[in-house]
Chains A and B, each alone.
Chain A
Protein backbone atom coordinates (compact mmCIF):
# COMPACT_ATOMS: atom_id res chain seq x y z
CA UNK A 1 0.00 0.00 0.00
CA UNK A 2 1.41 3.34 -0.94
CA UNK A 3 1.22 6.25 1.43
CA UNK A 4 -1.25 8.97 0.46
CA UNK A 5 1.23 11.67 1.35
CA UNK A 6 3.07 12.52 -1.82
CA UNK A 7 0.45 10.79 -3.93
CA UNK A 8 -0.80 13.42 -6.34
CA UNK A 9 -4.39 14.17 -5.51
CA UNK A 10 -5.04 14.88 -9.15
CA UNK A 11 -4.52 12.08 -11.59
CA UNK A 12 -1.16 12.30 -13.32
CA UNK A 13 -2.79 11.99 -16.72
CA UNK A 14 -2.98 15.41 -18.22
CA UNK A 15 -3.56 16.74 -21.70
CA UNK A 16 -0.47 18.49 -22.95
CA UNK A 17 1.86 17.20 -20.27
CA UNK A 18 4.13 16.16 -23.12
CA UNK A 19 3.41 18.99 -25.50
CA UNK A 20 3.68 21.78 -22.97
CA UNK A 21 7.37 21.27 -22.11
CA UNK A 22 8.15 21.21 -25.83
CA UNK A 23 6.31 24.45 -26.43
CA UNK A 24 7.93 26.03 -23.39
CA UNK A 25 11.31 24.77 -24.64
CA UNK A 26 10.81 26.62 -27.91
CA UNK A 27 9.70 29.75 -26.06
CA UNK A 28 12.70 29.62 -23.75
CA UNK A 29 14.94 28.99 -26.73
CA UNK A 30 13.68 32.12 -28.47
CA UNK A 31 13.92 34.14 -25.27
CA UNK A 32 17.41 32.80 -24.62
CA UNK A 33 18.63 33.75 -28.08
CA UNK A 34 17.23 37.23 -27.48
CA UNK A 35 18.93 37.44 -24.10
CA UNK A 36 22.20 36.24 -25.62
CA UNK A 37 21.88 38.77 -28.45
CA UNK A 38 21.06 41.54 -26.01
CA UNK A 39 24.02 40.63 -23.85
CA UNK A 40 26.46 40.30 -26.71
CA UNK A 41 25.42 43.62 -28.23
CA UNK A 42 25.60 45.53 -24.99
CA UNK A 43 28.95 43.93 -24.20
CA UNK A 44 30.31 44.83 -27.62
CA UNK A 45 28.91 48.36 -27.47
CA UNK A 46 30.56 49.13 -24.17
CA UNK A 47 33.95 47.97 -25.39
CA UNK A 48 33.67 49.58 -28.75
CA UNK A 49 32.46 52.89 -27.47
CA UNK A 50 35.39 53.22 -25.08
CA UNK A 51 37.74 52.17 -27.83
CA UNK A 52 36.40 54.56 -30.45
CA UNK A 53 36.09 57.57 -28.19
CA UNK A 54 39.83 57.56 -27.53
CA UNK A 55 40.76 57.47 -31.20
CA UNK A 56 40.80 60.06 -33.92
CA UNK A 57 41.92 59.83 -37.50
CA UNK A 58 43.61 62.50 -39.61
CA UNK A 59 43.20 62.08 -43.30
CA UNK A 60 45.79 63.65 -45.55
CA UNK A 61 44.55 63.53 -49.12
CA UNK A 62 46.79 62.82 -52.05
CA UNK A 63 47.09 65.85 -54.26
CA UNK A 64 48.94 66.15 -57.51
CA UNK A 65 52.02 68.40 -57.57
CA UNK A 66 52.41 68.59 -53.83
CA UNK A 67 54.53 66.37 -51.64
CA UNK A 68 52.26 64.30 -49.44
CA UNK A 69 55.22 63.46 -47.17
CA UNK A 70 55.74 67.06 -46.21
CA UNK A 71 52.09 67.61 -45.42
CA UNK A 72 52.07 64.50 -43.27
CA UNK A 73 55.06 65.73 -41.32
CA UNK A 74 53.42 69.12 -40.71
CA UNK A 75 50.24 67.44 -39.56
CA UNK A 76 52.20 65.20 -37.18
CA UNK A 77 53.96 68.26 -35.76
CA UNK A 78 50.68 70.01 -35.07
CA UNK A 79 49.30 66.89 -33.40
CA UNK A 80 52.33 66.36 -31.22
CA UNK A 81 52.18 69.96 -30.08
CA UNK A 82 48.68 69.45 -28.71
CA UNK A 83 48.64 68.39 -25.03
CA UNK A 84 45.45 66.35 -25.45
CA UNK A 85 47.09 64.00 -27.91
CA UNK A 86 48.98 61.07 -26.46
CA UNK A 87 50.30 59.64 -29.68
CA UNK A 88 50.07 60.14 -33.44
CA UNK A 89 51.24 57.53 -35.82
CA UNK A 90 51.12 57.36 -39.59
CA UNK A 91 49.57 54.14 -40.85
CA UNK A 92 51.98 52.09 -42.94
CA UNK A 93 51.22 50.71 -46.38
CA UNK A 94 50.33 47.19 -45.15
CA UNK A 95 47.71 48.67 -42.80
CA UNK A 96 46.22 50.81 -45.55
CA UNK A 97 46.14 47.80 -47.82
CA UNK A 98 44.34 45.80 -45.19
CA UNK A 99 41.75 48.55 -44.74
CA UNK A 100 41.21 48.87 -48.48
CA UNK A 101 41.24 45.15 -49.17
CA UNK A 102 37.47 44.79 -48.96
CA UNK A 103 37.09 47.29 -51.81
CA UNK A 104 40.22 46.86 -53.88
CA UNK A 105 41.11 43.27 -53.29
CA UNK A 106 44.13 41.90 -51.44
CA UNK A 107 46.60 42.41 -54.27
CA UNK A 108 45.94 46.04 -55.18
CA UNK A 109 48.99 48.21 -55.56
CA UNK A 110 48.66 51.45 -53.64
CA UNK A 111 51.22 53.26 -55.72
CA UNK A 112 48.89 53.21 -58.73
CA UNK A 113 46.18 55.13 -56.89
CA UNK A 114 45.85 58.56 -55.32
CA UNK A 115 45.26 56.96 -51.91
CA UNK A 116 45.08 59.37 -48.98
CA UNK A 117 47.35 58.74 -46.06
CA UNK A 118 46.01 58.26 -42.54
CA UNK A 119 47.36 59.23 -39.17
CA UNK A 120 46.02 57.30 -36.23
CA UNK A 121 45.69 59.59 -33.22
CA UNK A 122 45.32 58.39 -29.66
CA UNK A 123 43.72 60.84 -27.26
CA UNK A 124 45.40 61.14 -23.87
CA UNK A 125 43.28 59.38 -21.33
CA UNK A 126 40.91 61.78 -19.61
CA UNK A 127 41.65 64.58 -22.08
CA UNK A 128 39.12 66.22 -24.37
CA UNK A 129 40.08 67.31 -27.80
CA UNK A 130 38.86 70.64 -29.13
CA UNK A 131 37.97 69.11 -32.46
CA UNK A 132 37.21 72.31 -34.40
CA UNK A 133 40.33 74.13 -33.11
CA UNK A 134 42.59 71.21 -33.85
CA UNK A 135 40.95 70.69 -37.23
CA UNK A 136 41.58 74.30 -38.19
CA UNK A 137 45.21 74.16 -37.07
CA UNK A 138 45.70 70.98 -39.06
CA UNK A 139 44.15 72.40 -42.20
CA UNK A 140 46.35 75.47 -41.91
CA UNK A 141 49.59 73.53 -41.44
CA UNK A 142 48.75 70.80 -43.88
CA UNK A 143 46.38 71.91 -46.64
CA UNK A 144 43.56 69.44 -47.22
CA UNK A 145 44.10 67.51 -43.98
CA UNK A 146 40.86 66.53 -42.30
CA UNK A 147 40.39 65.57 -38.67
CA UNK A 148 37.86 62.79 -38.37
CA UNK A 149 36.31 62.21 -35.00
CA UNK A 150 34.46 59.04 -34.21
CA UNK A 151 31.48 60.64 -32.47
CA UNK A 152 29.23 60.11 -35.46
CA UNK A 153 30.33 56.54 -35.70
CA UNK A 154 29.85 55.93 -32.02
CA UNK A 155 26.40 57.42 -31.93
CA UNK A 156 25.38 55.58 -35.07
CA UNK A 157 26.59 52.26 -33.75
CA UNK A 158 24.97 53.01 -30.41
CA UNK A 159 21.68 53.69 -32.18
CA UNK A 160 21.88 50.38 -34.04
CA UNK A 161 22.80 48.67 -30.81
CA UNK A 162 19.86 50.20 -28.97
CA UNK A 163 17.54 49.15 -31.76
CA UNK A 164 18.82 45.59 -31.63
CA UNK A 165 18.44 45.59 -27.87
CA UNK A 166 14.88 46.93 -27.99
CA UNK A 167 14.08 44.23 -30.50
CA UNK A 168 15.51 41.60 -28.18
CA UNK A 169 13.47 42.94 -25.25
CA UNK A 170 10.34 42.97 -27.41
CA UNK A 171 10.94 39.34 -28.39
CA UNK A 172 11.41 38.38 -24.74
CA UNK A 173 8.20 40.20 -23.78
CA UNK A 174 6.20 38.62 -26.61
CA UNK A 175 7.54 35.15 -25.90
CA UNK A 176 6.66 35.52 -22.21
CA UNK A 177 3.18 36.67 -23.15
CA UNK A 178 2.69 33.75 -25.50
CA UNK A 179 4.03 31.40 -22.81
CA UNK A 180 1.56 32.75 -20.26
CA UNK A 181 -1.29 32.35 -22.75
CA UNK A 182 -0.31 28.75 -23.49
CA UNK A 183 -0.08 27.88 -19.81
CA UNK A 184 -3.52 29.41 -19.26
CA UNK A 185 -4.95 27.25 -22.03
CA UNK A 186 -3.17 24.16 -20.72
CA UNK A 187 -4.35 24.81 -17.16
CA UNK A 188 -7.92 25.29 -18.31
CA UNK A 189 -7.73 22.06 -20.29
CA UNK A 190 -6.31 20.37 -17.19
CA UNK A 191 -9.08 21.83 -15.05
CA UNK A 192 -11.77 20.51 -17.35
CA UNK A 193 -10.15 17.07 -17.51
CA UNK A 194 -9.92 16.99 -13.72
CA UNK A 195 -13.19 18.83 -13.22
CA UNK A 196 -14.86 15.89 -11.54
CA UNK A 197 -11.97 15.36 -9.10
CA UNK A 198 -11.55 19.07 -8.46
CA UNK A 199 -15.24 19.34 -7.63
CA UNK A 200 -15.09 16.40 -5.23
CA UNK A 201 -12.06 17.85 -3.46
CA UNK A 202 -13.86 21.18 -3.30
CA UNK A 203 -16.97 19.58 -1.82
CA UNK A 204 -14.88 17.65 0.69
CA UNK A 205 -13.64 20.95 2.02
CA UNK A 206 -10.33 21.36 0.23
CA UNK A 207 -9.30 24.96 0.23
CA UNK A 208 -8.76 26.68 -3.10
CA UNK A 209 -5.08 27.08 -2.44
CA UNK A 210 -4.77 23.38 -1.68
CA UNK A 211 -6.23 22.47 -5.07
CA UNK A 212 -4.26 25.23 -6.77
CA UNK A 213 -1.07 23.88 -5.22
CA UNK A 214 -1.64 20.55 -6.98
CA UNK A 215 -1.72 22.36 -10.31
CA UNK A 216 1.11 24.70 -9.40
CA UNK A 217 3.48 21.86 -8.60
CA UNK A 218 2.69 20.21 -11.90
CA UNK A 219 3.13 23.33 -14.01
CA UNK A 220 6.31 24.34 -12.21
CA UNK A 221 7.73 20.97 -13.14
CA UNK A 222 6.51 21.15 -16.74
CA UNK A 223 7.92 24.68 -17.03
CA UNK A 224 11.25 23.63 -15.58
CA UNK A 225 11.56 20.63 -17.88
CA UNK A 226 10.67 22.78 -20.88
CA UNK A 227 13.02 25.51 -19.74
CA UNK A 228 15.97 23.17 -19.34
CA UNK A 229 15.27 21.63 -22.72
CA UNK A 230 15.20 25.11 -24.24
CA UNK A 231 18.46 25.98 -22.53
CA UNK A 232 20.17 22.91 -23.95
CA UNK A 233 19.00 23.90 -27.43
CA UNK A 234 20.29 27.42 -26.78
CA UNK A 235 23.66 26.19 -25.62
CA UNK A 236 24.08 24.11 -28.76
CA UNK A 237 23.08 27.02 -30.98
CA UNK A 238 25.36 29.50 -29.23
CA UNK A 239 28.37 27.21 -29.37
CA UNK A 240 27.81 26.76 -33.09
CA UNK A 241 27.17 30.47 -33.62
CA UNK A 242 30.30 31.60 -31.78
CA UNK A 243 32.37 29.03 -33.57
CA UNK A 244 31.18 30.32 -36.93
CA UNK A 245 31.46 33.97 -35.94
CA UNK A 246 34.98 33.62 -34.65
CA UNK A 247 36.14 32.82 -38.15
CA UNK A 248 33.89 35.30 -39.88
CA UNK A 249 34.67 38.33 -37.75
CA UNK A 250 36.47 41.08 -39.59
CA UNK A 251 39.00 43.32 -37.85
CA UNK A 252 36.57 46.23 -37.49
CA UNK A 253 33.68 44.22 -36.05
CA UNK A 254 33.28 44.16 -32.31
CA UNK A 255 33.61 40.70 -30.88
CA UNK A 256 30.22 39.28 -29.99
CA UNK A 257 30.91 37.43 -26.79
CA UNK A 258 28.33 37.06 -24.03
CA UNK A 259 29.40 38.48 -20.71
CA UNK A 260 28.99 36.91 -17.30
CA UNK A 261 25.67 38.68 -16.77
CA UNK A 262 24.31 37.12 -19.92
CA UNK A 263 25.40 33.63 -18.94
CA UNK A 264 23.77 34.09 -15.54
CA UNK A 265 20.56 35.39 -17.14
CA UNK A 266 20.49 32.39 -19.45
CA UNK A 267 21.00 29.99 -16.58
CA UNK A 268 18.07 31.60 -14.75
CA UNK A 269 15.70 31.37 -17.73
CA UNK A 270 14.36 27.86 -16.99
CA UNK A 271 13.59 28.90 -13.42
CA UNK A 272 11.91 32.06 -14.64
CA UNK A 273 9.87 29.96 -17.09
CA UNK A 274 8.93 27.49 -14.34
CA UNK A 275 7.87 30.26 -11.96
CA UNK A 276 5.91 32.01 -14.69
CA UNK A 277 4.12 28.74 -15.52
CA UNK A 278 3.46 28.09 -11.83
CA UNK A 279 2.07 31.53 -11.07
CA UNK A 280 -0.06 31.50 -14.21
CA UNK A 281 -1.47 28.08 -13.36
CA UNK A 282 -2.20 29.19 -9.80
CA UNK A 283 -4.05 32.31 -10.86
CA UNK A 284 -6.00 30.39 -13.50
CA UNK A 285 -7.07 27.71 -11.03
CA UNK A 286 -7.90 30.17 -8.26
CA UNK A 287 -10.03 32.12 -10.71
CA UNK A 288 -11.87 29.02 -11.86
CA UNK A 289 -12.45 27.84 -8.28
CA UNK A 290 -13.75 31.22 -7.20
CA UNK A 291 -16.73 30.60 -9.49
CA UNK A 292 -17.71 27.57 -7.42
CA UNK A 293 -19.74 28.18 -4.30
Chain B
Protein backbone atom coordinates (compact mmCIF):
# COMPACT_ATOMS: atom_id res chain seq x y z
CA UNK B 1 0.00 0.00 0.00
CA UNK B 2 1.07 3.57 -0.69
CA UNK B 3 -0.34 7.06 -0.24
CA UNK B 4 -0.61 8.93 -3.54
CA UNK B 5 2.64 8.45 -5.41
CA UNK B 6 4.71 8.13 -2.23
CA UNK B 7 6.80 5.12 -1.32
CA UNK B 8 5.13 1.87 -0.39
CA UNK B 9 4.33 2.03 3.30
CA UNK B 10 3.44 -1.64 3.46
CA UNK B 11 4.41 -4.45 1.12
CA UNK B 12 4.48 -8.20 0.95
CA UNK B 13 2.05 -8.66 3.80
CA UNK B 14 0.37 -12.00 3.94
CA UNK B 15 -1.63 -12.97 6.95
CA UNK B 16 -4.94 -14.42 7.85
CA UNK B 17 -7.06 -13.46 10.83
CA UNK B 18 -9.16 -16.38 11.94
CA UNK B 19 -12.70 -15.30 12.80
CA UNK B 20 -12.91 -14.91 16.56
CA UNK B 21 -9.18 -14.42 17.00
CA UNK B 22 -7.42 -11.76 19.07
CA UNK B 23 -4.22 -10.15 17.79
CA UNK B 24 -1.99 -7.36 18.84
CA UNK B 25 -0.44 -5.29 16.12
CA UNK B 26 2.91 -3.96 17.21
CA UNK B 27 5.86 -2.24 15.71
CA UNK B 28 7.84 0.94 16.05
CA UNK B 29 6.22 4.30 15.34
CA UNK B 30 5.90 4.83 11.61
CA UNK B 31 6.09 1.12 10.85
CA UNK B 32 2.66 1.21 9.22
CA UNK B 33 0.33 0.04 11.98
CA UNK B 34 -2.20 2.76 11.27
CA UNK B 35 -1.87 2.20 7.54
CA UNK B 36 -2.56 -1.48 7.92
CA UNK B 37 -5.61 -0.68 10.02
CA UNK B 38 -6.76 1.80 7.36
CA UNK B 39 -6.71 -1.02 4.85
CA UNK B 40 -8.71 -3.18 7.22
CA UNK B 41 -11.37 -0.63 8.07
CA UNK B 42 -11.83 0.12 4.37
CA UNK B 43 -10.55 3.67 4.31
CA UNK B 44 -7.97 2.87 1.69
CA UNK B 45 -7.62 0.47 -1.17
CA UNK B 46 -4.34 -1.41 -1.46
CA UNK B 47 -2.26 -0.15 -4.37
CA UNK B 48 -1.61 -3.80 -5.17
CA UNK B 49 -2.42 -7.10 -3.60
CA UNK B 50 -5.60 -8.72 -2.38
CA UNK B 51 -7.69 -8.27 0.71
CA UNK B 52 -10.41 -10.70 1.62
CA UNK B 53 -12.72 -9.43 4.30
CA UNK B 54 -15.60 -11.50 5.66
CA UNK B 55 -14.92 -13.96 2.82
CA UNK B 56 -15.29 -11.30 0.15
CA UNK B 57 -12.62 -10.14 -2.24
CA UNK B 58 -12.59 -6.36 -1.79
CA UNK B 59 -11.31 -5.80 -5.30
CA UNK B 60 -14.41 -7.45 -6.72
CA UNK B 61 -16.88 -5.86 -4.34
CA UNK B 62 -18.98 -3.03 -5.77
CA UNK B 63 -18.67 0.22 -3.86
CA UNK B 64 -22.28 0.15 -2.74
CA UNK B 65 -21.64 -3.01 -0.72
CA UNK B 66 -18.89 -1.38 1.34
CA UNK B 67 -21.13 0.47 3.85
CA UNK B 68 -22.66 -2.84 4.88
CA UNK B 69 -19.20 -4.29 5.54
CA UNK B 70 -18.07 -1.17 7.39
CA UNK B 71 -21.01 -1.50 9.75
CA UNK B 72 -19.64 -4.89 10.77
CA UNK B 73 -16.36 -3.25 11.78
CA UNK B 74 -15.87 -1.25 14.96
CA UNK B 75 -12.94 1.15 14.92
CA UNK B 76 -11.22 2.94 17.77
CA UNK B 77 -9.24 5.66 16.07
CA UNK B 78 -6.00 6.80 17.59
CA UNK B 79 -7.26 10.39 17.56
CA UNK B 80 -10.76 9.26 18.71
CA UNK B 81 -12.59 11.18 15.96
CA UNK B 82 -15.78 11.86 17.86
CA UNK B 83 -18.44 14.22 16.53
CA UNK B 84 -17.96 17.36 18.59
CA UNK B 85 -21.52 18.63 18.40
CA UNK B 86 -23.05 15.38 19.66
CA UNK B 87 -23.19 14.32 23.30
CA UNK B 88 -21.29 11.29 24.55
CA UNK B 89 -24.53 9.34 24.42
CA UNK B 90 -25.27 10.43 20.85
CA UNK B 91 -21.74 9.62 19.75
CA UNK B 92 -21.93 6.13 21.19
CA UNK B 93 -25.41 5.59 19.71
CA UNK B 94 -24.31 6.66 16.23
CA UNK B 95 -23.49 3.19 14.85
CA UNK B 96 -26.91 1.97 15.98
CA UNK B 97 -28.53 4.96 14.41
CA UNK B 98 -26.66 4.28 11.16
CA UNK B 99 -27.94 0.71 11.33
CA UNK B 100 -31.44 2.21 11.49
CA UNK B 101 -32.18 0.81 14.93
CA UNK B 102 -34.89 2.46 16.99
CA UNK B 103 -33.74 4.51 19.92
CA UNK B 104 -36.22 2.84 22.26
CA UNK B 105 -34.43 -0.46 21.56
CA UNK B 106 -30.90 0.66 22.26
CA UNK B 107 -31.15 3.53 24.71
CA UNK B 108 -30.71 1.38 27.84
CA UNK B 109 -27.82 -0.56 26.33
CA UNK B 110 -25.97 2.60 25.39
CA UNK B 111 -26.37 4.07 28.87
CA UNK B 112 -25.32 0.80 30.45
CA UNK B 113 -22.23 0.71 28.29
CA UNK B 114 -21.39 4.31 29.20
CA UNK B 115 -21.77 3.39 32.85
CA UNK B 116 -19.51 0.44 32.33
CA UNK B 117 -16.71 2.52 30.85
CA UNK B 118 -17.10 4.91 33.80
CA UNK B 119 -18.87 7.72 31.97
CA UNK B 120 -22.29 7.34 33.59
CA UNK B 121 -22.24 10.95 34.70
CA UNK B 122 -20.86 12.29 31.41
CA UNK B 123 -23.67 11.02 29.22
CA UNK B 124 -24.78 14.48 28.08
CA UNK B 125 -21.31 15.99 27.82
CA UNK B 126 -19.90 16.86 24.44
CA UNK B 127 -16.38 15.76 23.46
CA UNK B 128 -14.76 19.22 23.72
CA UNK B 129 -15.44 19.28 27.49
CA UNK B 130 -14.29 15.68 28.03
CA UNK B 131 -10.74 14.84 29.01
CA UNK B 132 -8.55 12.83 26.63
CA UNK B 133 -9.18 9.66 28.61
CA UNK B 134 -12.91 10.24 28.66
CA UNK B 135 -12.95 10.86 24.92
CA UNK B 136 -11.04 7.66 24.40
CA UNK B 137 -13.61 5.73 26.39
CA UNK B 138 -16.44 7.27 24.37
CA UNK B 139 -14.58 6.25 21.21
CA UNK B 140 -14.22 2.70 22.51
CA UNK B 141 -17.86 2.52 23.54
CA UNK B 142 -18.83 3.70 20.06
CA UNK B 143 -16.66 1.03 18.48
CA UNK B 144 -18.11 -1.84 20.49
CA UNK B 145 -21.73 -0.79 20.91
CA UNK B 146 -23.00 -2.52 17.80
CA UNK B 147 -21.14 -5.77 18.66
CA UNK B 148 -19.09 -5.70 15.48
CA UNK B 149 -17.67 -8.80 13.83
CA UNK B 150 -14.28 -7.12 13.59
CA UNK B 151 -12.89 -4.66 16.11
CA UNK B 152 -9.87 -2.58 15.17
CA UNK B 153 -8.30 -0.41 17.83
CA UNK B 154 -5.40 1.96 17.29
CA UNK B 155 -3.59 2.62 20.59
CA UNK B 156 -6.84 2.33 22.53
CA UNK B 157 -5.28 2.69 25.94
CA UNK B 158 -2.88 5.50 25.16
CA UNK B 159 -4.72 8.23 27.05
CA UNK B 160 -6.04 6.38 30.09
CA UNK B 161 -4.43 5.28 33.30
CA UNK B 162 -3.50 1.67 33.86
CA UNK B 163 -6.64 0.73 35.76
CA UNK B 164 -9.01 1.99 33.10
CA UNK B 165 -6.72 0.60 30.43
CA UNK B 166 -7.14 -2.88 31.89
CA UNK B 167 -10.87 -2.38 32.10
CA UNK B 168 -11.06 -1.36 28.43
CA UNK B 169 -8.91 -4.24 27.28
CA UNK B 170 -11.10 -6.63 29.23
CA UNK B 171 -14.02 -5.16 27.28
CA UNK B 172 -12.27 -6.16 24.07
CA UNK B 173 -11.56 -9.58 25.49
CA UNK B 174 -15.18 -10.09 26.44
CA UNK B 175 -16.28 -8.99 23.02
CA UNK B 176 -13.75 -11.39 21.55
CA UNK B 177 -15.26 -14.21 23.61
CA UNK B 178 -18.61 -13.40 22.02
CA UNK B 179 -17.05 -14.01 18.63
CA UNK B 180 -15.63 -10.67 17.55
CA UNK B 181 -12.28 -10.74 15.80
CA UNK B 182 -10.06 -8.19 17.51
CA UNK B 183 -6.92 -6.41 16.36
CA UNK B 184 -5.35 -3.98 18.81
CA UNK B 185 -2.47 -1.83 17.63
CA UNK B 186 -0.27 -0.83 20.52
CA UNK B 187 3.31 -0.34 21.54
CA UNK B 188 2.56 -1.07 25.16
CA UNK B 189 4.70 -4.16 25.68
CA UNK B 190 3.29 -4.72 29.14
CA UNK B 191 -0.20 -4.95 27.72
CA UNK B 192 0.84 -7.46 25.09
CA UNK B 193 2.57 -9.61 27.70
CA UNK B 194 -0.42 -9.43 30.05
CA UNK B 195 -3.00 -10.57 27.56
CA UNK B 196 -0.73 -13.03 25.90
CA UNK B 197 -2.47 -12.95 22.55
CA UNK B 198 -0.53 -13.53 19.34
CA UNK B 199 1.28 -10.57 17.99
CA UNK B 200 1.57 -9.26 14.46
CA UNK B 201 4.85 -7.39 14.46
CA UNK B 202 5.32 -4.81 11.72
CA UNK B 203 8.80 -3.82 10.68
CA UNK B 204 10.17 -2.41 7.42
CA UNK B 205 6.71 -2.43 5.86
CA UNK B 206 6.19 -6.13 6.32
CA UNK B 207 4.69 -8.31 9.02
CA UNK B 208 5.75 -11.22 11.15
CA UNK B 209 3.70 -13.29 13.56
CA UNK B 210 4.84 -14.02 17.11
CA UNK B 211 3.07 -16.48 19.30
CA UNK B 212 3.03 -15.62 22.98
CA UNK B 213 5.64 -17.27 25.08
CA UNK B 214 3.81 -16.97 28.32
CA UNK B 215 0.20 -16.36 29.06
CA UNK B 216 0.22 -14.43 32.25
CA UNK B 217 -2.77 -12.64 33.52
CA UNK B 218 -1.69 -10.11 36.03
CA UNK B 219 -5.06 -8.70 36.70
CA UNK B 220 -7.11 -10.91 38.95
CA UNK B 221 -10.33 -9.20 37.97
CA UNK B 222 -9.66 -9.96 34.33
CA UNK B 223 -8.67 -13.53 34.96
CA UNK B 224 -12.27 -14.50 35.45
CA UNK B 225 -13.47 -12.60 32.45
CA UNK B 226 -10.90 -14.05 30.12
CA UNK B 227 -10.36 -17.45 31.66
CA UNK B 228 -11.64 -19.29 28.65
CA UNK B 229 -10.15 -16.85 26.20
CA UNK B 230 -9.22 -18.91 23.15
CA UNK B 231 -5.60 -19.95 23.15
CA UNK B 232 -3.28 -18.19 20.84
CA UNK B 233 -3.10 -21.12 18.47
CA UNK B 234 -6.25 -19.87 16.71
CA UNK B 235 -4.19 -16.95 15.53
CA UNK B 236 -2.64 -15.86 12.34
CA UNK B 237 -0.46 -17.98 10.15
CA UNK B 238 1.99 -16.17 7.90
CA UNK B 239 2.36 -17.85 4.55
Q: A and B: real partners?
A: yes
- Chain A residues within 8 Å of B, Cβ to Cβ: 1-5, 7-9, 11-13, 196-197, 199-208, 210, 290, 293
Task: Identify 9 new A-B residue pairs, CB closer than 8 A, beyond the known A4-B93, A204-B95.
Answer: A1-B124, A2-B124, A4-B90, A9-B94, A200-B83, A204-B70, A204-B94, A205-B67, A205-B98
Q: How far is the CA of A212 from the CA of B97 in the complex (A)?
A: 16
In angstroms, how far is the closest chain B Cβ from the Cβ of A191?
15
Name the interface residues of B20-59: CB closer than 8 Å to any CB of A. 41-45
Chain B residues in 8 Å Cβ range of A290: 63
Contact A201 B98 (CB under 8 A): yes
Chain A residues in 8 Å Cβ range of B72: 205
Contact B86 A7 (CB under 8 A): yes
Q: How far is the CA of A204 from the CA of B64 in the complex (A)?
A: 14
Given A200-B81, A203-B43, A2–B90 Cβ distance below 8 Å?
A: yes
- Number of B residues, CB within 8 Å of A: 33
Which of A202, A206, A293 contacts B44 (CB under 8 A)?
A293
Q: How far is the CA of A290 from the CA of B81 in the complex (A)?
A: 22
Given A4-B89, A203-B41, A11–B98 Cβ distance below 8 Å?
A: no
In angstroms, how far is the closest chain A Cβ from the Cβ of B41?
6
B71 at the interface (CB under 8 A from A): yes
Instruction: Sample 17 A-B pairs with CB under 8 A, ordered by A number.
Output: A1-B89, A4-B93, A9-B94, A200-B81, A201-B98, A202-B70, A203-B43, A203-B75, A204-B75, A204-B94, A204-B98, A205-B72, A205-B95, A206-B67, A290-B63, A293-B42, A293-B66
Q: Contact string, B75-113, partner A, CB cutoff 8 A, digits 1/0?
A: 100000101111101100111011100010000000000
Which of B43, B94, B124 contacts A293 (CB under 8 A)?
B43
Q: How far is the CA of A1 from the CA of B89 in the complex (A)?
A: 8
Contact A2 B87 (CB under 8 A): yes
In angstroms, how far is the closest chain A Cβ from the Cβ of B25?
18
Most interface-central of B45, B68, B97, B99 (chain A CB within 10 A): B97
Chain B residues in 8 Å Cβ range of A4: 86, 89-90, 93-94, 97, 103
In angstroms, how far is the closest chain B Cβ from the Cβ of A288?
14
B117 at the interface (CB under 8 A from A): no
Chain A residues in 8 Å Cβ range of B73: 205
Q: How far is the CA of A201 from the CA of B124 in the complex (A)?
A: 20
Chain B residues in 8 Å Cβ range of A9: 83, 86, 94, 97
Q: Which residue of B lies closest to A1 (CB)?
A: B124
- Chain B residues within 8 Å of A, Cβ to Cβ: 41-45, 63-64, 66-73, 75, 81, 83-87, 89-90, 93-95, 97-99, 103, 123-124
In angstroms, how far is the closest chain A Cβ from the Cβ of B89?
6
Chain A residues in 8 Å Cβ range of B123: 1
Most interface-central of B66, B83, B84, B123 (chain A CB within 10 A): B83
Contact A293 B45 (CB under 8 A): yes
Contact A12 B98 (CB under 8 A): no
Q: How far is the CA of A290 from the CA of B67 in the complex (A)?
A: 12
Q: Which residue of A lies closest to B41 (CB)?
A: A203
Q: How far is the CA of A5 from the CA of B72 in the complex (A)?
A: 22
Given A203-B41, A204-B71, A11–B103 Cβ distance below 8 Å?
A: no
Q: How far is the CA of A9 from the CA of B82 in the complex (A)?
A: 12
Which of A11, A199, A205, A208 contacts B84 (CB under 8 A)?
A11
In angstroms, how far is the closest chain B Cβ from the Cβ of A201?
7
Q: Closest 8 A-B residue pairs measured CB to CB?
A: A205-B71, A205-B70, A11-B85, A4-B90, A205-B67, A207-B67, A4-B93, A1-B124
Q: How far is the CA of A8 from the CA of B68 in the complex (A)?
A: 22
Q: How far is the CA of A293 from the CA of B73 in the complex (A)?
A: 15
Q: How far is the CA of A148 from the CA of B86 in the complex (A)?
A: 78
Q: How far is the CA of A205 from the CA of B73 in the complex (A)?
A: 9
Q: How far is the CA of A7 from the CA of B69 in the complex (A)?
A: 25
Chain A residues in 8 Å Cβ range of B103: 3-5
In angstroms, how far is the closest chain B Cβ from the Cβ of A3?
6
Chain B residues in 8 Å Cβ range of A207: 64, 67
Q: How far is the CA of A55 from the CA of B68 in the complex (A)?
A: 75
Chain A residues in 8 Å Cβ range of B66: 293
Contact B83 A11 (CB under 8 A): yes
Q: How far is the CA of A202 from the CA of B124 in the complex (A)?
A: 24
Given A2-B90, A12-B85, A205–B68 Cβ distance below 8 Å?
A: yes
Q: How far is the CA of A204 from the CA of B144 in the complex (A)?
A: 12
Most interface-central of A2, A202, A205 (chain B CB within 10 A): A205
In angstroms, how far is the closest chain A Cβ from the Cβ of B112?
14
Q: How far is the CA of A138 from the CA of B86 in the complex (A)?
A: 89
Q: How far is the CA of A24 from the CA of B98 in the complex (A)?
A: 32
Contact A203 B89 (CB under 8 A): no
